[in-house]
Amino acid sequence: MRFALPALLAFAAATLGAPFATTGPRPVAPAPATPQETSPWALSSCPLGTLPDGDVCVHLGSPDDDIDAPVATNAHHERSGRWAVYDQIPRRPDRPSDYDAYRYPVPPGLAGGHSVVSGYDLDRPDESQRRGRKLHAVGHGGVDLPQAKGSPIQMEALEHQQGDADVVYVGPLFGNTVITRHTLREAGRLRDYLVLFGHLDATAPGVTQGVSLKQGDLVGTVGDTGSPELVHLHLEVRRVRDGVDVSKRLHLGPNQLLDNDVSVVCDPRNVLPLR
């Protein structure tokens, strides 16, 4: 059973008093109303500063709170056999692991209302990362969203985004690609993120470098450019390194934006909006 967050907050305020206590014993879970219905307080695994919302933990504070997604180092064997060490940002523990808990630029395209055919795995051990005979890269730094060719891709604002997104690149990279820059308030400060839309059939009219896109604007259409085996949208999120101006790196080509010293690949679930 899922609980609406406003009602859950009211329940918590009545139970704990305001403001919420961050120290001391946790409240005792009331007995379930029926064998099939479990109180939200039964999810004792939720960390401090969060409350259970159905089967996920939802953060109670504001984007100014000291919540961060730290950079972690991982490594894998590339196809050449070289042992490659890289930085990446894994999913924060307060974010739902279920990919279907999030909104995406395209509607679910799999049976049962599921969205993702291949998820983020650069935080996993080498042997658990995606490999394939026809795949150039080892590991997957985004999510693959299957949909019919020509389906519209609409801009989705990220969690705690400030203002509209800016288009920083349009052209070949992962097939036809659009890259947008989003400014988020995170851990009490502003940070830039890049969102990569890959394998587009075509970009939307007027989507060029320098334009701004707001929630719901058309980015392009789903395709299979650079990926003839699967019609899908490759959605990748990267956090720009502090102090880096990505607009000054583009003269070296779009691959420069993906360099480890410019941006860090990030589990998209850290910043995608919840349904």
Q: What are 201-244's pLDDT values in tens digits?
A: 999 999 999 999 999 999 999 999 999 889 999 999 999 999 99
Closest by CA position to 160, among listed 130, 193, 128: 193
Looking at residue 26, what is its pLDDT?
Answer: 42
What global pTM score does this model have? 0.77
For the cut 60, the answer to whether the pLDDT of residue 47 exceeds it is no
What value does the mean pLDDT take over residues 102-107?
98
Q: Give the pLDDT confidence score for residue 29 in this predicted structure.
A: 41
Give the whole-angstrom CA distance, residue 181 versus residue 238.
Answer: 10
pLDDT at 28: 42
| Backbone dihedral angles phi then psi of residue 65, each to the nearest 5 degrees | -65, 165
pLDDT at 38 over 60: no
pLDDT band at 14 (very low <50, low <70, confident <90, very high): very low
**Number of C-alpha atoms within 13 angstroms, CB side, residue 59?**
18
Average pLDDT, the chain: 83
Q: Which of 208, 231, 230, 232 is nearest to 219 (CA)?
A: 208
Please, which pLDDT band fits residue 193 given cuts at 50, 70 and 90? very high
Higher pLDDT, 137 or 175: 175
B/e letters for 198-224, b = 16+ CB within 10 Å, e = fewer, are bbbbebbeebeeeeebeeebbbbbbbb
pLDDT in tens, 261-275: 999 999 999 999 999
Residue 50: pLDDT band with limits 50, 70, 90: low
Q: Which domains does the chain have, with CATH numbers?
A: 5-59 (no CATH), 79-270 (2.70.70.10)
Least confident range from 17-31, 46-60, 95-109, 150-164: namely: 17-31
Average pLDDT of the residues in 179-185: 97
